[in-house]
Structure 1
Amino acid sequence: MKALPAVDHGILFFPRGGSSLVVKNLTEQTLAAGRPARIFAGSLGQPGAYSHAPTFYEDLPLTVADYNPAATAHTLGADALLQPVPMHPSYEDRTGVPDRVFAAVAPATADAIEAYWRRHLTTHHAGQAGLLHLHHLTPLHGITQDGHRPVVTTLHGTELKFLNNALRRLQLADALGLSIAALGEQYRNEPRATLRRITQTANAPGLDETETLLTDRWHMWTHASFGDGSTEKFRKVTARSNPLESLSTGERRLATMLPLLAAAWSMYSGEGFHGPRLLSVDEIDAAFDEPNLRQVLALLRSWDFDVLATAPFMTPMIKQEAGQVMVHQVVTTGRHRVTVPWLWQGHGEPQPLTLDLALDQAHREEHT
Structure 2
Amino acid sequence: MRGLRVSFGGAVGGVAVMVATLLVAPAPAAGQPTSVAGLLAHYHDLSKEAERVNEELLLVQESLAGQRKASAKARTAADDARTAADRARHRASTVPDLDQYADALARRRGLTALSALADSTSPDDLLGRLRAVALASRLTSTGTEGDAALAAAEQAERAADTAEDAAARAEAEVAAGTTDLQRRRADLDRQIREVRAALDRLTPEQRSLLAGAEDYGDDVVIPGGDIGGMLEFALAQMGKPYLWGAVGPNAYDCSGLVQTAFRKIGVEVPRVSRVQATVGQSIPRSQVRAGDLIFYYNPVQHVAIAVDDTRAVHAPSFGESVKIAGIDAIGPITVIRRVIA
Structure with greater proportional strand content: 1
TM-score strictly above 0.5: no
**TM-score with structure 1 setting the length:** 0.21
Q: Kindly indicate which of the two structures has a greater share of residues assigned to helix.
A: 2
